[in-house]
Amino acid sequence: TGLLRVTVTKPCEESTVSKILELVENSSEKKAVSEQFITRFAKYYTPCVVYAALALFLIPTLMLAFLPAPPAFLAGTTWDNWLHRALTFLVISCPCALVISVPLSFFGGIGGASRLGILVKGSNYLEALGPTETVVFDKTGTLTDGTFSVTELIGAPGVSETELIDIAAAAETFSTHPIAQSVRAYRGA
């Protein structure tokens, strides 16, 4: 609904849109503290749990198979009992919910924000917003309703109100900004 004149001064790779896209794509490099902790924790915990479950299955099974008189705790058990116990241990001990949910929640937050036009450079910035209770913006017409009206005209000495509003309305002819619209509405244009 307005006039737009564009002069290309840089190649596409150097444009602001390309830089914004790069920031969104590389946001995973700036991980939150909790996400870094979970990643380090899972790096050691998950293999330990898998090896423990494997040992819980293999050691009793091998003892049943190769020992002529298995220990008392193996009496009346079979290899499928130990497989069931090992799988149960693996499911209960697996930190999947913790390991997957933390990074996934940040990923979902960054993705959801980008769909709404909000750019978050990384999950560390998203985590920093967690305790925020109040946000104040000064983006008239972008984040607010943007309904304005002219209430008073104060021109320079020697400039009449009519001349002032004519000049202001002419300057705002091609603008769709809410303040420009209120100036044109006051003039009656």
Mean pLDDT of the chain: 82
Specify the DSSP class assigned to residue 106: H
Q: How far apart are CA 83 and CA 89, in angstroms?
A: 10
CA–CA separation, 164 and 150 (whole Å) = 12
DSSP for residue 151: -
Closest among 121, 89, 123, 118 to 107, alpha carbons compared: 123
- What is d(CA 24, CA 123) in angstroms, rounded to the nearest whole number? 11
Which of the residues 80, 138, 145, 166 is marked catalytic? 138
CA distance 11 to 25: 20
pTM: 0.44
pLDDT, tens digit (0-9, with 9 covering 90-100), for 39-80: 788 888 888 988 999 999 999 999 888 888 888 888 888 888
Please indicate whether residue 138 is annotated as part of the active site: yes
